[in-house]
Amino acid sequence: MESLAWLAEEACRNAWPAPREVHLGGWLLRASGGPTRRTNALNPLPGPRAAPAVAVEAAERVFAGLGAPALFRVVSLAPELDPELERRGYRAEGHSFTLAADLADHARPDPEVRLAPAPDAAWLALRARINDSDAAAECAYRVMHETIALPRACAALDADGAPAAQAYAVLDRNLVVLESVATAPEARGRGHARRVVAALMDWGRARGAAFACLQVVADNHPARALYAGLGFGRELSRYHYRRAP
């Protein structure tokens, strides 16, 4: 289980890469700009890691040099930063889960879900509308997509002649990582997100993936119910962030 959890950690980073990264003695600092926390935080790597106080101070110096707030992603696989950060007054936020689903029995092709190897203008426009994001955030998101080096599929589903739901997936070894699952506000509650996620799981399985994985905020109960219905019953790890006071 732990080896799959670490593999999922790496695959999720590869599926949402940061254009700037700094290795700090077994820790990885990611700096993308924009509002996304996990690409603007210090993350643990498997294996030996620098002591918590050393890692925190090294990361603080890098963040200060970038003119960015210090942010740390504390993962249950490597929880040793948490006491040090709490002692320094860093506040916790963004409690989340990394979940996995077995694809052995998953085969749900959906011809109405469109798949493309990269996001087009309409796909990006729907994302911006759903997230009500500003130009800087969308620029960071586009740069992230341009940085993805692994096989990718962007799924879209229309309803009543208009874009209704979308998500994308990245294939990393025997894992397919699901990202950016979203439904237009006027189309919610009709099963559209479930269909795009299922189509991407089928895409990954057809290309040799044994498992699907994703990350979800702990208090996003509708999303967690959706994923549970698609077989995401295995919790690989938990994480939260610590932000400077």
Domain shared by 145 and 216, yes or no: yes
The pLDDT assigned to 109 comes to: 77
Q: pLDDT (tens digit, 9 = 90+) per residue, 114-145?
A: 999 999 999 999 999 999 999 999 999 999 99
Percent with pLDDT over 90 in the chain: 93
Q: Of 96, 130, 149, at which residue does a domain stop?
A: 96
Domain containing residue 73: 2-96
pLDDT at 149 over 80: yes
Q: Of 63, 96, 129, at which residue does a domain stop?
A: 96
pLDDT at 107 over 80: no
Domain shared by 119 and 86, yes or no: no
Domain shared by 88 and 109, yes or no: no
Supply the DSSP symbol for 90: P
Domain shared by 74 and 163, yes or no: no
**Does residue 131 belong to any structural domain of this protein?**
yes
CA 105 centroid distance within chain: 24
Closest to 101 in 3D by CA, of 229, 237, 7, 208 = 229
The pLDDT assigned to 2 comes to: 64
Q: Read off the pLDDT band of 105 (50, 70, 90).
A: confident
Whole-angstrom distance, CA of residue 51 vs CA of residue 30: 19
The pLDDT assigned to 1 comes to: 57
Domains in the chain, number: 2
Domain shared by 168 and 77, yes or no: no
Q: Is 214 left (phi over 0), alpha (psi -120 to 50) or beta?
A: beta
Domain shared by 140 and 83, yes or no: no
The residue-averaged pLDDT of 10-30 equals: 98
Domain shared by 73 and 44, yes or no: yes
- CATH at 140: 3.40.630.30
When computed from its CA atoms, the radius of gyration of the chain, rounded to whole angstroms, is 18
Domain shared by 71 and 162, yes or no: no
**Does residue 242 belong to any structural domain of this protein?**
no
Q: Of 78, 96, 114, at which residue does a domain stop?
A: 96
Domain shared by 12 and 86, yes or no: yes
Q: Sort 111 into a burial class: Cβ within 10 Å, 0-12 / 13-18 / 19+.
A: exposed
Q: pLDDT (tens digit, 9 = 90+) per residue, 50-83?
A: 999 999 999 999 999 999 999 999 999 999 999 9
pLDDT at 190 over 60: yes
Domain shared by 32 and 60, yes or no: yes
**Does residue 62 belong to any structural domain of this protein?**
yes
Identify whether the C-beta of residue 217 lies closer than 8 Å to the C-beta of residue 95: yes
The pLDDT assigned to 103 comes to: 96
Whole-angstrom distance, CA of residue 196 vs CA of residue 200: 6
Closest to 98 in 3D by CA, of 117, 73, 81 = 73
Q: Read off the pLDDT band of 158 (50, 70, 90).
A: very high
**Does residue 79 belong to any structural domain of this protein?**
yes
Percent with pLDDT over 70 in the chain: 99
The pLDDT assigned to 88 comes to: 97
